Amino acid sequence: MINKKVEQLINKQINAETYSAYLYWSMSAALEKMNLPGFANWMRVQAQEEMTHAMKFYVHIIERGGTVKLTAIDAPPTEWSGVKAVFEAGLKHEQLVTSLINGLVDLAMQEKDHAANMFLQWFVNEQIEEEKNAMDILGQLEIVGNTAGGLYLLDKEMAARVFTPPATGQQA
């Protein structure tokens, strides 16, 4: 049986992960409007990942005999000043999610919910990847600046990203 305090915070995390998907869909729409379909694709794939994360939390609660309590999702921003601003906001958001995951781990350890702690380690590692991806793209954007050719090439690279579900045993 899942610890009730941990269950409550995981329910909040389901909301946060779903909000993340909303945010990335909104960023994708903004990037489409900027005529950057490759970057928009990258964000749509990111949104798919976030929904997978939300479902992993959902399944964890169910499998441990808890109750999933879905709550309203806040509306994300809809406008950014440019592609770099989008990815800066994305990095800031991933840093927030990292702090939320760390708080969950802290609570699981405090409550001696070892199953939750083990489950959450996947997310700890995932957040390292999430932040690195955003930092890498920001670094590339810094290099190319607003040069049309550089943005064109990066946009083509971002278009190649496809959604890959977590490996067997890590699925929702």
The confidence score (pLDDT) of residue 169 equals: 56
**CATH for 4-159, options being 3.50.50.60, 3.30.390.10, 2.40.30.170, 1.20.1260.10:** 1.20.1260.10
pTM listed for this prediction: 0.93
pLDDT tens-digit profile, the chain (172 residues) = 999 999 999 999 999 999 999 999 999 999 999 999 999 999 999 999 999 999 999 999 999 999 999 999 999 999 999 999 999 999 999 999 999 999 999 999 999 999 999 999 999 999 999 999 999 999 999 999 989 999 999 999 999 999 998 875 544 5
The confidence score (pLDDT) of residue 168 equals: 59
d(CA 49, CA 25): 11
Token duo for residue 22: 């909303």
Structural domain boundaries of the chain?
4-159
Token duo for residue 143: 């290099």
Token duo for residue 123: 């997310």
The confidence score (pLDDT) of residue 171 equals: 46
